[in-house]
Amino acid sequence: MLANRFAAEFMVPRWGIKMYCDSLPQHFDLTDAIALLSDYYEVPSKTIILRLEEEEYITAKEKEEFLLDSAVAIYDERRKELGLHATMQEPTYDRNGSLSFYAILRKNLDGDRISRGKFDELYRLLDSMSFLNSLPAP
């Protein structure tokens, strides 16, 4: 059990939950957040729900309600509505070349989270992927 908690905390870190939840528009509800976090971290929605309770975003009672099979089906449906893959078993090829990677890379450089050298290295790596040739140069 302790190993499972460690794995969940490792895969979905506290700072990541906070940063991601804080960046969502206000009109996104908890169902949206669960679906999006599940896709972002590539973990099942149940893992996200457990982490949200551990980080006190939801209560223990809410966690139990969110973990019901009927609720999990709602998250899967919401994932489809948001254009996300319905299952973690499907490959997510689009993530490899997503324009959002370039935006995240730029944001990290602007926020002094990475050096210019690391930015250039990662940009060259992304640029070397054939489906990224249309990205603007930094």
Task: Express each pLDDT in 80-107 by its tens digit.
Answer: 777 775 545 444 444 444 555 666 777 7
Instruction: Please give the residue range of the domain that contains residue 102.
Output: 93-132
The pTM of this model reads 0.57
Q: Kindly state whether residues 97 and 70 are assigned to the same domain.
A: no
pLDDT of 51 over the 70 cut: yes
Q: How many structural domains compose the chain? A: 2
Closest listed residue to residue 94, CA positions, set 138, 127, 124, 131: 131
> Does 118 map to a domain?
yes
Q: Kindly state whether residues 24 and 76 are assigned to the same domain.
A: yes
4: number of CA atoms within 13 Å, CB side?
A: 6
Q: Kindly state whether residues 70 and 116 are assigned to the same domain.
A: no
Q: Kindly state whether residues 53 and 103 are assigned to the same domain.
A: no
Q: Kindly state whether residues 60 and 14 are assigned to the same domain.
A: yes
